[in-house]
Amino acid sequence: GESVGLHLPTLSVQEGDNSIINCAYSNSASDYFIWYKQESGKGPQFIIDIRSNMDKRQGQRVTVLLNKTVKHLSLQIAATQPGDSAVYFCAELHNTNAGKSTFGDGTTLTVKP
Amino acid sequence: GAVVSQHPSRVICKSGTSVKIECRSLDFQATTMFWYRQFPKKSLMLMATSNEGSKATYEQGVEKDKFLINHASLTLSTLTVTSAHPEDSSFYICSARFRDRGAVHYGYTFGSGTRLTVV
């Protein structure tokens, strides 16, 4: 069956360092990927997305890389700040407009001051 | 931006009672909303897809008579947990699909979640 998973359940980084959170997916038909941030007791917050016709997309302090050959997705956060501490989920959709997202298990990012 | 308001944020109820959770799109019309359930330190699990004016589509293993979904208007979807039991205690999150004017693709926005505790 399909699955979306992250390589590491926890990641601890020093404030100011760059963070890299990885995600592997199994469905080669997936055409849309989203990274979400979830703080404790809150709903997921959209960070950045990427479509399957791209391999890189940049936002403010964040970059998402997509490697369709090995079905791998990563989220890079530059100059990580304490406010970045949260659980990060990757999600994939088969059809961008169908809306059914499959979420990975999440990586807990802890930023040490 | 597209905002979804979810209420209540927390609710405690007794076993056997029913609880209704509301999800409203504040500045856009949401023809499609999604309901997720999340256990502690776990990922989001899609329960059902709610379509305005029609019956919800439930994921495999989700009891439709237990989790009643109503999407009677373009801005409101409700999830009612009927005859709640302690094992229904969880974090429930709604999500809505939206499309900005002129955009080709949809975006997705989430509510802030409802922490349900059944005692």
Q: Which of A42, A100, A103 is closest, CB to CB, to B113?
A: A42
Average pLDDT over residues A35-60: 93
Average pLDDT over residues A3-20: 84
pLDDT, tens only, A77-103: 999 999 999 999 999 887 655 667 888
Answer whether B107 sits within 8 Å of A103, measured CB to CB.
no
Cα-based distances in Å from B53 to A21, A31, A33, B2, B76: 40, 28, 29, 21, 11
Q: Residue A5 pLDDT > 80, yes or no?
A: no
Q: Residue A1 pLDDT > 50, yes or no?
A: no
Answer whether A41 sits within 8 Å of B46, measured CB to CB.
no
CA gap A97, B108 in Å, rounded: 10
Percent residues over pLDDT 90 in chain B: 75
Q: Residue A52 pLDDT > 50, yes or no?
A: yes
Average pLDDT over residues A10-37: 92
Confidence of residue B101 (pLDDT cuts 50, 70, 90): confident
The pLDDT value recorded for residue A102 is: 85
The pLDDT value recorded for residue A109 is: 96
Q: Which of B34, B45, B110 is closest, CB to CB, to A99?
A: B34
Q: Residue A108 pLDDT > 80, yes or no?
A: yes
Q: Residue A48 pLDDT > 50, yes or no?
A: yes
Which residues in chain B have their CB less than 8 angstroms from residue A51's CB?
A: 105
Average pLDDT over residues B13-24: 97
Average pLDDT for chain B: 93
Q: How far B85 CA sits from the closest chain A CA (Å)?
A: 21
Percent residues over pLDDT 70 in chain B: 100
Q: Residue A10 pLDDT > 50, yes or no?
A: yes
Q: Answer positive or negative: Cα dihedral of B6, B110, A109, A101.
A: positive
Q: Residue A6 pLDDT > 80, yes or no?
A: no
Q: Residue A113 pLDDT > 60, yes or no?
A: yes
Q: Residue A7 pLDDT > 60, yes or no?
A: no
Average pLDDT over residues A38-63: 93
Q: Residue A2 pLDDT > 50, yes or no?
A: no
The strand pairing partners of A90, in sequence order, are A35
Average pLDDT for chain A: 89
Cα-based distances in Å from B55 to A26, B45, B72, B76: 30, 20, 10, 14
Q: Per-residue DSSP letters for A50-105? A: EETT-SEEE-SSEEEEEETTTTEEEEEESS--GGG-EEEEEEEESSTTT--EEE--
